[in-house]
Amino acid sequence: MKLPAGLAPHLLRSIRLVATQLDTLLLWATLTAADRFMPAPGLPWLAQLGALVICVLLQSPNADPDQQAWRSQARRLPRRLAVVALAAGLWYLVFSLPATAALRVAAVWLPLTTLAPLVAWRVCAVRSTVWVRSQFQEHRIDIPVGEALVFGGILAASDTLAPGL
């Protein structure tokens, strides 16, 4: 995917930083889901942290010599595979986890990160920020949020303190 020509380098870095953050965020979500749904022994938090550190190191935008374009999916794939390989090595050697653990994580993470750029995240972010701000400042949606908390708290309390009420 090509970026518009003439973008300042700091904007390019910013965009790539968002891409890295997105990849890392998706990896975190995948690891969390894997920890919950994978069979025992699950993923120790140190193993998860290690995979995230590897992801950040390898995907760092500052390490990218290409200042002209958004890296294509094909060019990004080797780095992602490297993240998976290194994580698998780390998990197998240090944490004695089965090698299939990394494969399961990769099976979710790779498609997610591939599909993620298809969504216009920055546009979504800007629009959602404007929408949220208007909801709070003009429509004071915080008040129904507070009322919902009061309602929810009272109903939860009645439901748990007097079961079957």
Partner 1 sequence: MLATAAIWIAARGLLRLPSTRSGASLFPVLVVTMLGLAVWLQTAGQVQRGHLVVAVWLVGGVALYRFLLARFATDAEGGLVENFRWITLGAVGLVLFRPFLQAGVHGTGDALWYGTMLADLMAQLHAEVFPVWTGQSIYQFNGSIFPLRIAPLFHHAGALTDLLTGRALAPFSVLNALLFGTGLLALATTYFSRRALLPQLRGCAWALAILFVGCPGTLGLVFNTDLFMSWTTVPWWPVALYGCIRSFQASGYRPLLILAGALGLLWWGHAPIALWTTVIMSLTQAARLLTKRPASAMIRPHLAAAMLFVFVAGYPIGSVLLYPPEPGVNAAGFQGARADVVVRFLREARPASWLPMSAHGRALGDFQLGYALWSALIVTLVLAARSRSVALTALPLAALGLAALLNLPSGPAEALWRLVPDFVRNTTGNWVMNRLYFVQSGLIVFGLAALLAARAASLPRTAARVALAFALCGVLWTRFEARKFAAGSRAGLRPPTSGVLAVRPENIQITRFAYLVFPKLPAYFTHGVTAPALENRLFNDTGTLLADNFVAAETGGKVLATHEFFHDRADNDFLGLPLALHLVPGRHYLLAFDFHADAAPEGLMQIKGPATLREYAMPEYGEAASFGRGGRHSRYLALPHSADTPHGVDVRYYPAASAALARPFGRVRWIEYIPANLPVDIESWIPYRARVDAPAAGWLETPRMFQTNYEATVDGRPAIVKNPPKVSSVSPFRRDAPRSNSATMPRSG
**Chain residues in the site for partner 1 (CB under 8 A):** 136-137, 139-140, 142-163, 165
Q: Least CB distance from residue 63 to partner 1, whole Å? A: 29
- Which two three-digit tokens encode residue 137? 């400042």
Choice between 62 and 160, CB closer to partner 1: 160
The owner of tokens 């653990």 is 101
In angstroms, rounded to a whole number, what is the distance separating the alpha carbons of residues 31 and 28?
5
Q: How far is the CB of 148 from partner 1 (least distance, A)?
A: 8
If the CB atoms of residues 33 and 141 are measured against partner 1, the closer one turns out to be 141
- Sign of the CA dihedral 56, 62, 64, 68? positive
**Residue with Cβ nearer partner 1 (66 or 142):** 142
Q: Which is nearer to partner 1, 99 or 154 (CB)?
A: 154
Q: Distance between CA atoms of 158 and 152, rounded to whole angstroms?
A: 10
84 within 8 A of 105, measured Cβ to Cβ:
yes
Least distance (Å) between residue 97 CB and partner 1: 22
